[in-house]
Structure 1
Amino acid sequence: MWDPGGAKDKKGKLYIILRFLRMEQTFFSLPMAYLGAFLAVRKIPAIRILILIFFALFFVRIAGMTNDNLADRFIDAKNPRTMTRPLVTGVITVKNAYALIAIGLAGYFISTYFINILAFSISPLGALVIMTYPYMKRHTAFANYQIASIQGLSVMAGAIAAVGLHSPVYIIYHMPWFFVFATIFWALGFDLYNHIPDIKYDRENKLHSFATLLGDRALQFAGLNQILSVSLAFAGDIVYRLGILSYATTTLHGAIMLSAFILAYRGNFGKAFYYNIYASVVLALGIIIDVALGLPAI
């Protein structure tokens, strides 16, 4: 019955809004965006850029999560696990939701405008990927990869913001691709922890995910994606000639993901889901500090 977006009516309005937006989950994407920024320039990016990256992700998360809740409100109302979500209970109204989406998108586009013209030019693509996810899961299990790609786009967005205005070849060359794809496979794994408990309900309501597609094998598929993620992260440590701290935190990142998988195997999907926040922060911090200090490559 765990639900990261549920909130009891007796709680304060601020608490309910934060639960509705699941703001703590910003820590899935923000560390990875900073990882992309630091790796792309191999130094500490401008503080102005780091602040703008934060605001861009903060606002687009408001728009994306509100849109997801808005699209799913009738489905959530029938699912015992999600019946306490604020749009279902009416604590947050549909009018409030549209206002939050407008504020979120406006803040996102304004933030990208002040980053650089390239970031602003491609920002609609990021918004499109984020805003179409709740509708894609009505048609294909690959919606899991769509939402996972949003985390990968965070790495790319951080890199583009830090690199600035250069030729496409220059940006492609400096993009930390190993960590882009490591992030996508990592996110696919933990996203399934949110879908596996709803397999029966989602099948009855014709909602698609790899959980509904694979059934009892979904958890194994999640683990396989996370093994691939850790492998790519270690490959990134090697290819980008990172120091011992990056290797150590990549190892710890993998250990946390293994712990999360064990928790999920035991049925504790809520705790397993949130363990991945710790995994994200650990991996990103190690690489950020490594780059900032200029530690020698192994």
Structure 2
Amino acid sequence: MINKLKTYLELIKFSHTIFAIPFGVSSVFIIEKGLPQVEKIFWIILAMVFARTAGMAFNRYIDIPIDKLNPRTKNWPSAKGEVKPWEMMALGLTASILFMYTAYKLNMLAFWLSPVVILLLLIYPAGKRFTQYVHLILGAVYFLIPVAVSIALKGSVELSAITLGVAMAFWVAGFDILYALQDYEFDKSLGIYSIPAKYGIKKSIFIARFFHFLTFLFILLTGFFAGMGLVYYIGIFILAGFLVYEHTLIKESDLSKINKAFFTVNGFVSIIYMVFVILDTYLGGLLWKM
């Protein structure tokens, strides 16, 4: 059972959940402008975990034929048959039901909108079969995180939730483009759609950099609309330094450090943002407001 659990966690890349949860928690503090009810945080975090689990399970199920052919993914549990297709679908459906339940526990509006999230999670893995801009579909999923948090907490959509959602969308789309550089040759040979496959490595790196510049811009706007203080702005300039560092790791002639940029640096980006949002919430009143 322990080995099976480890296989499931590897299947859905559970460790990557660190990318989404800190931004989700950050949006809770930004929208509440303080510490929300612990129960609300509990259900919001569970919702993000279940939504991501569903998305990854559906992704692995839909991509079985591709993953079996790709040298980078042929040893994944789904490609090797360690997890059966029916198990992936059952996991995805179970996680989807649990996600809808968590939305129900937050409020009815969140519950009625939850199928939209599930639909996007299904469209994303299928997107590589019909659009080069599949990365923006994944971005749309992350856009919905702070919007959904706002709906869950306020029953409406705050402007700061929209700007943070746009920032998250370009952030995840940008590093998804960088991640897709690993499969550039494979995608082109198999006719799989992606920005790298369409525009090449050099232009794709530029597009990812532009997306991350937009991330920084919209995080700035989030601070303005949410009335954040000096601590927040110090934090996002530190965050910007990590984004710049991420892009120094990836060059057209050397893609060997993509995993470091993707897993390590992006994890720090989301955690740094959360830490400074929380610090600003509690220390902002002690310092002058921007």
- The TM-score with structure 2 as length reference comes to 0.92
SS in 1 for 2:44: helix
Question: Displacement, 1:236?
Answer: 2.3
SS in 1 for 2:10: helix
Instruction: Tell me whether 1:43 sits opposite 2:28 in the alignment.
Output: no
In the alignment, which residue of structure 2 is the partner of 1:231?
A: 217
* CA displacement, residues 194-250 of structure 1 (integer Å, 9 cap, x when unaligned): 201111111122211111111031111101110111122123223332112211211
In the alignment, which residue of structure 1 is the partner of 2:143?
A: 152
SS in 2 for 1:81: coil
Distance 1:198-1:283 versus aligned 2 partners, 3 A rule: same
CA distance in 2: counterparts of 1:175 and 1:184, whole angstroms: 14
In the alignment, which residue of structure 2 is the partner of 1:288?
A: 278
Cα RMSD of the aligned pairs, angstroms, is 1.7
Question: Displacement, 1:174?
Answer: 4.9
* CA displacement, residues 96-121 of structure 1 (integer Å, 9 cap, x when unaligned): 11221121111101111111101101
SS in 2 for 1:80: coil
% of aligned pairs identical? 24
Q: Within 5 Å, which residues of 2 pair with 1:201-280?
A: 201-216=186-201, 217-265=203-251, 266-267=254-255, 268-274=257-263, 275-280=265-270
Question: Displacement, 1:260?
Answer: 1.2
Q: Is the 8 A contact 1:119 1:161 kept in 2?
A: yes
In the alignment, which residue of structure 2 is the partner of 1:6?
A: none
CA distance in 1: counterparts of 2:100 and 2:3, whole angstroms: 30
SS in 2 for 1:82: coil
Q: Is the 8 A contact 1:37 1:160 kept in 2?
A: no
In the alignment, which residue of structure 2 is the partner of 1:8?
A: none
In the alignment, which residue of structure 2 is the partner of 1:79?
A: 70
Q: Which runs of 5+ in 1 are unaligned?
A: 1-10, 166-170
Tell which deviates more after alignment, 14-23 or 273-282.
14-23
Question: Structure 2: which amino acid aligns with 1:81?
Answer: R
Question: Displacement, 1:180?
Answer: 1.4
Q: Is the 8 A contact 2:139 2:173 kept in 1?
A: yes
CA distance in 1: counterparts of 2:63 and 2:7, whole angstroms: 17
Match of 2:50 among 31, 53, 59: 59
In the alignment, which residue of structure 2 is the partner of 1:94?
A: 85
Distance 1:121-1:294 versus aligned 2 partners, 3 A rule: farther
Q: Is the 8 A contact 2:160 2:223 kept in 1?
A: no
Count of residues paired in the alignment: 282
Question: Displacement, 1:146?
Answer: 0.6
* CA displacement, residues 78-129 of structure 1 (integer Å, 9 cap, x when unaligned): 1111111101111111121122112111110111111110110100111111
CA distance in 2: counterparts of 1:221 and 1:214, whole angstroms: 10
Instruction: Tell me whether 1:181 sits opposite 2:170 in the alignment.
Output: no
Q: Is the 8 A contact 1:30 1:154 kept in 2?
A: no
Instruction: Tell me whether 1:17 sits opposite 2:8 in the alignment.
Output: yes
CA distance in 2: counterparts of 1:244 and 1:183, whole angstroms: 21
Distance 1:66-1:173 versus aligned 2 partners, 3 A rule: closer
Q: Is the 8 A contact 1:143 1:209 kept in 2?
A: yes
CA distance in 2: counterparts of 1:247 and 1:44, whole angstroms: 20
Question: Structure 2: which amino acid aligns with 1:240?
Answer: A
- The TM-score with structure 1 as length reference comes to 0.90
Higher relative contact order (CA 8 A, sep 6+): 1
Q: Within 5 Å, which residues of 2 pair with 1:155-174?
A: 155-163=146-154, 165=155, 171-174=156-159
